[in-house]
Amino acid sequence: MRWSLFGGIAALLFSAGTALAAEEVELPERHWSFGGLFGTFERDDVRRGYEVYRNVCAGCHGLTLIRYRELATLGYTDDEIKALAAEQTYTDGPNDQGEMFERPGLPSDAFKAPFPNEQAARVANNGAYPPDLSLLVEARAGGANHVYGVLIGYEEPPADFPLKEGQYYNKYFPGHVIAMPPPLADGAVSYADGTQATLPQMAADVTSFLAWTAEPTLEARKRMGVKTVLFLIVFTGLLYAVKRKIWLGVKH
Amino acid sequence: MVHGAEAVRGQAGGHGHGEGGGSRRDFLILATTAVGAVGAASVLWPFIDQMNPSADVLALSTVEVDVAPIAVGQAITVKWRGKPVFIRHRTEEEIKAARSVALSELRDPEADEARAQRPEWLILVGVCTHLGCIPLGQKPSDPHGDYGGWFCPCHGSHYDTSGRIRRGPAPQNLVVPDYLFASDTVVRIGEVGPAGGAAA
Amino acid sequence: MSAPVFKNPVVRWIDYRMPVFTFLNHELNEYPTPRNLSYWWNFGSLAGIMLVTMIVTGIVLAMHYTPHTDYAFQSVERIMRDVNYGWLIRYLHMNGASMFFIVTFIHMFRGLYYGSYKAPRELLWILGVVILLIMMATAFMGYVLPWGQMSFWGATVITNLFSAIPLVGEDVVSWLWGGFAVDNPTLNRFYSLHYLLPFVLVGVVVLHLVALHRFGSNNPLGIDTKGPQDTLPFHPYYTAKDMFGLGVFLIFYALVVFFAPNLFGEPDNYIPANPLSTPAHIVPEWYFLPFYAILRAVPNKLGGVVLMFASIFVLFILPWLDRSPVRSARFRPIYKIFFWILVVDCVVLGVVGANPPEGNWVAIGRIATIWYFVHFIILVPLLARLERPRPLPASISQPVLAGGGFAPAAARMDKA
């Protein structure tokens, strides 16, 4: 009885809290393959998402925590990875002459950021900074639903909504004003596997990709989690039986 | 990783109708301890494995070098797995000198043919097998020792044009790493080459 | 109690020269423990296990972490992605901190309910509050190490509090920072101290256990044990019970680590620290929220700091605020009600701390803060004097007689 009183008050206060934070938006609740206790990354989704990133997002957004060699998880072969890496040039050195030099990328290199630093990124984007996307799904409240929502949430602002030059109205972005122009449009990418590239399809695919970049070890974590929790349930059951056996007949 | 423990499930508690309460309790404790030991080992493994080389370190276990710019008679040094690797484009004289040595003269007998997949390219780990200094001999102005190869300044080991120890305290020849030619001009160090190539 | 004879000759040889086995046998094996302890008594051992867990996972993380502002965030991501099982060890450490505080708070509330802070256990309680303070300092500094946005800005807000100290405040702050703002020197010294304090904690925990073993554990009835009929040897009874409790706890811990590893965290800490961009809401980790609420309840900066520290100081002097001779709230019906109100009050303070100090939250926060101090400073001493407790049983082992037999004052707790 005491517990339910307590829980009730806590629940009331938490919901009161969220209601008072007026900028909360209701995100689209979409089923993700990697959600839940047994979630896994759907390899095809993530691979298509990488194509969206390469063709649409990489122009402004870095992905500097991912190394080209990690694309092997998405099904790319060693030669494909070498070719993808070699598309970028990296500064290396100094060589024996004491000079820095340019070389093509290697599989062990990280994805190259589109701008050398934050200041250059801001100059190129009207003062706004396109954040690195590697951890975005974990760095935003709402996670994957938030990222997906923002990508599909562009629409005409309601009448009299104050919107300055360089700002866009987005249904799912907290505060509804975002500096990024709508990045996706139907057919913006032509998928290697032939899937039709509608806006929601691309949004979902790139979200799956970004969920993978944020936590590549997610599948290992959940797999180990299932085994561990099952083991612990069995083990705790045994420990309970031992406890009962030892305490049997003891007055307490 | 956690596995196998589920097999123990169902063992405890269901048996021993005819046994006394004491031995049934002992069996339960035994079973529980065994399951606990499996759990403890499973927990212990990640803490041990985390010290093994991580993915980014393993990714650098091979290095590719374009040897086309190295002229005959020149040598370069590249870094591989944290160590210097000498790549020498040998002259005809150097190859002949290496191949005309009788194996009985060598402290660590090894034929030059076994140490170079292609005779004009000698690839060695540039670490003296005595106590780990880096031998001199990569640059034309360096001392090459009495055998035309490399000379280690720390304790005076002399290596010949095949990188074999000829005089001085080093016990073994300079190590030939695993390598293969990915193309005529690109060598990949750290990957095992064709059979009959560089011996360990 | 006779000295045991060990069968193993090597054990005997060592024990004769360094009586560690005799010691362990006395303190952990045959140690007489009240037979009526409930599961609320499991949380002390759980806290000890969490301390060991945090030290082991922490030492392993320290093998891979780089305490420099340019590399810290990336080194943590390297642990998550490249180090074998790095993600697991990091999540264990990160969530282990929350688990450590959960079990410690429950352990403390158990103490408040059953009067475990009363004579002769006042020093035991005080050592416990010292443990809480060291835990808080350690956790605060540990949270800075990943160098995310919350790491940086939480450090900035909390270290800035010290500027409220009159006269020397600004100097103290720049001394803490090692500079003009939270920066690399700050990160480095926090790393050093974060590594040190857990071992200081081990020392204080040892003292805590020494104090505990002076008089033994309290129990749900709050009355002293009278003899062997009231106790059981610690092993196997409480070792078995503690192991079972550990199993249940580990299930909860595993569910969090494997299925909700960022439940207790803030998304903003996955953004690298940016001294030029303040997050919309700076929130400390959940276990600091009630203190954060008390801090913000006072409109004056120094007042807020003083009141926040006072909320812990009041715990130090609790054995002298509450002089009721009856320990356990089981026999203190009015105190029991106020205990539960205090629990709700602490939860409310936590929720207030999580929200921006705007609108209704300000008033709620102030009321809850006032109530916290009213509870300890006014109610508890008053109740000690005015409350009529229920009759205490004669002893732990004696069954309660039909008709409610109770013993006269002689059976109650003796004043120290």
Tell me the pLDDT tens digit for each residue of B14-47: 343 444 456 766 899 999 999 999 999 999 999 9
Nearest to B6 among A107, A230, A239 (CB): A230
Place of tokens 């596997």: A193
Residue B194 pLDDT: 73
Residue of B nearest to A221 (CA): B1
Out of B15, B144, B155, B158, pick the active-site residue.
B155
In percent, the amount of chain B with pLDDT more than 70 equals 84
Ordered DSSP codes for A86-140: HTSEEEE---TTS--EEEE--TTSBPPPSSSSHHHHHHHTTT------TTHHHHS
What's the first-to-final CA gap in chain B, in angstroms? 34
pLDDT digits (tens, 9 = 90+) for C146-165: 999 999 999 999 999 999 99
d(CA A236, CA C42): 15
Q: Tell which residue, C258, C202, C247, A70, has the closest CA to residue B46.
A: C258
Nearest to C89 among B50, B52, B55 (CB): B50
Q: At what angle do helices C169-177 and C149-160 cross, to 10 degrees?
A: 150
pLDDT digits (tens, 9 = 90+) for C16-68: 999 999 999 999 999 999 999 999 999 999 999 999 999 999 999 999 999 99
Nearest to B5 among A107, A234, A245 (CB): A234
Place of tokens 């009529």: C388
Kindly state the helix (H) or strand (E) to which residue C34 belongs, with its residue range.
strand C32-34
Cβ neighbours of residue C228 under 8 Å, at least 6 residues apart? C32
Residue C412 pLDDT: 46
Q: Is B2 on the interface with A (CB under 8 A)?
A: yes
pLDDT digits (tens, 9 = 90+) for A132-175: 999 999 999 999 999 999 999 999 999 989 999 889 999 999 99
Q: How many contacts, defined by CB atoms under 8 Å, are there between B and C?
A: 33
Q: Is A69 on the interface with B (CB under 8 A)?
A: yes
Q: Is C88 on the interface with A (CB under 8 A)?
A: yes
Dihedral sign of CA atoms C231, C236, C237, C243 in order: positive
Q: Is C29 on the interface with A (CB under 8 A)?
A: no
Instruction: Find the mean pLDDT for residues C183-199.
Output: 98
Q: Is C105 on the interface with A (CB under 8 A)?
A: no
**Which tokens go with A85?**
């890496």
Q: Tell which residue, A187, A183, A206, has the closest CA to residue A195.
A: A187
Annotate B90-125 with b (16+ C-beta within 10 A) or e (fewer).
Answer: beeebbebbeebeeeebeeebebeebbbebebbbbb
Q: Tell which residue, C238, C163, C198, has the closest CA to residue C56.
A: C198
Per DSSP, helices labelled H in C63-85 are 72-81
CA distance to A65, A188, A197, B170, per residue, from A133 (Å): 9, 19, 21, 53
CB contact under 8 A, B35 and A69: no
Give the number of residues written for chain A.
252
Question: Which has more confidence, B60 or C107?
Answer: C107
Strand ranges (E), chain B: 63-66, 75-80, 83-89, 121-125, 148-152, 157-160, 165-167, 179-181, 186-189
Cβ neighbours of residue B124 under 8 Å, at least 6 residues apart? B85, B86, B88, B163, B174, B175, B176, B177
Label residue A8 by pLDDT band (50, 70, 90).
Answer: low
For chain B, the C-alpha Rg in angstroms (whole number) is: 28
Are the CB atoms for A130 and A138 separated by under 8 Å? no
Label residue A35 by pLDDT band (50, 70, 90).
Answer: very high
d(CA A233, CA A236): 5
pLDDT digits (tens, 9 = 90+) for C388-413: 999 999 999 875 443 344 444 444 44
Are the CB atoms for A130 and A180 separated by under 8 Å? yes
Please give, rounded to a whole number of angstroms, the shortest distance from the CA of B25 to a CA of chain A: 7
Mean pLDDT over the full length of chain C: 94
Q: Tell which residue, C97, C5, C107, C106, has the closest CA to residue C50.
A: C97
CB contact under 8 A, C63 and B51: yes
Nearest to C85 among B49, B56, B57 (CB): B49
In percent, the amount of chain B with pLDDT more than 90 equals 76
Nearest to C344 among A6, A221, A232 (CB): A6
d(CA C120, CA C104): 21
Dihedral sign of CA atoms A145, A148, A154, A155 in order: negative
Cβ neighbours of residue C93 under 8 Å, at least 6 residues apart? C54, C57, C58, C61
Residue A146 pLDDT: 96
Nearest to A229 among C240, C244, C254 (CB): C254
Q: How many contacts, defined by CB atoms under 8 Å, are there between A and B?
A: 50
Please give, rounded to a whole number of angstroms, the shortest distance from the CA of B175 to a CA of chain C: 29
Cis (ω within 30 of 0) for the bond into C233?
no
Instruction: Find the mean pLDDT for residues C87-104.
Output: 98
Residue of C nearest to B45 (CA): C85
Provide, as residue numbers in chain A, all residues whose Cβ is less than 8 Å from the Cβ of B25: 242, 245-246
d(CA B20, CA C393): 38
Question: What letter represents residue A198's amino acid?
Answer: T
Are the CB atoms for B150 and B135 separated by under 8 Å? yes
Residue of B nearest to C82 (CA): B55
CB contact under 8 A, B56 and A231: no
Question: What letter represents residue C282's amino acid?
Answer: I
CB contact under 8 A, B46 and C64: no
Instruction: Find the mean pLDDT for residues C72-81.
Output: 98
CB contact under 8 A, A221 and C356: no
Q: What angle do CA C266, C268, C274 make, to 5 degrees?
A: 145
CB contact under 8 A, A239 and C237: no
Place of tokens 């560089």: B198
Q: List residues bridging with A67 in a β-sheet.
A: A110
CB contact under 8 A, C258 and A224: yes
pLDDT digits (tens, 9 = 90+) for B110-134: 999 999 999 999 999 999 999 999 9
d(CA C342, CA C371): 8
Asked if the model's pLDDT at residue A15 lies above 60, the reply is no
Provide, as residue numbers in chain A, all residues whose Cβ is less than 8 Å from the Cβ of C271: 131, 135, 139
- Dihedrals φ, ψ of C405, to 5°? -65, 140
CB contact under 8 A, C254 and A140: no
Residue C3 pLDDT: 64
Label residue A25 by pLDDT band (50, 70, 90).
Answer: confident
Asked if the model's pLDDT at residue A19 lies above 80, the reply is no
Q: Tell which residue, B165, B162, B139, has the closest CA to residue B152.
A: B165
Provide, as residue numbers in chain A, all residues whose Cβ is less than 8 Å from the Cβ of C236: 246
Residue of A nearest to B29 (CA): A242
Mean pLDDT over the full length of chain B: 86
Q: Tell which residue, A32, A59, A238, A227, has the closest CA to residue A137.
A: A32
Q: What angle do CA C166, C172, C177 make, to 5 degrees?
A: 145
Provide, as residue numbers in chain B, all residues whose Cβ is less than 8 Å from the Cβ of A228: 2
Cis (ω within 30 of 0) for the bond into C236?
yes
Provide, as residue numbers in chain C, all residues whose Cβ is less than 8 Å from the Cβ of A5: 344
**Which tokens go with B43?**
């927990």
Sheet arrangement for strand B148-152: B148-152, B157-160, B165-167
Q: Touching A: which chains, 3+ CB pairs < 8 A?
A: B, C
Q: Is C119 on the interface with A (CB under 8 A)?
A: no
Cβ neighbours of residue C221 under 8 Å, at least 6 residues apart? C36, C328, C330, C331, C392, C393, C396
Asked if the model's pLDDT at residue A14 lies above 70, the reply is no
Dihedral sign of CA atoms A123, A124, A128, A130 in order: negative
Residue C329 pLDDT: 97
Q: Tell which residue, C131, C153, C132, has the closest CA to residue C144.
A: C153
Instruction: Find the mean pLDDT for residues C236-256.
Output: 98
Instruction: Find the mean pLDDT for residues A88-101.
Output: 89
| Catalytic residue IDs of C | 213, 217, 241-242, 285
What's the first-to-final CA gap in chain C, in angstroms? 25
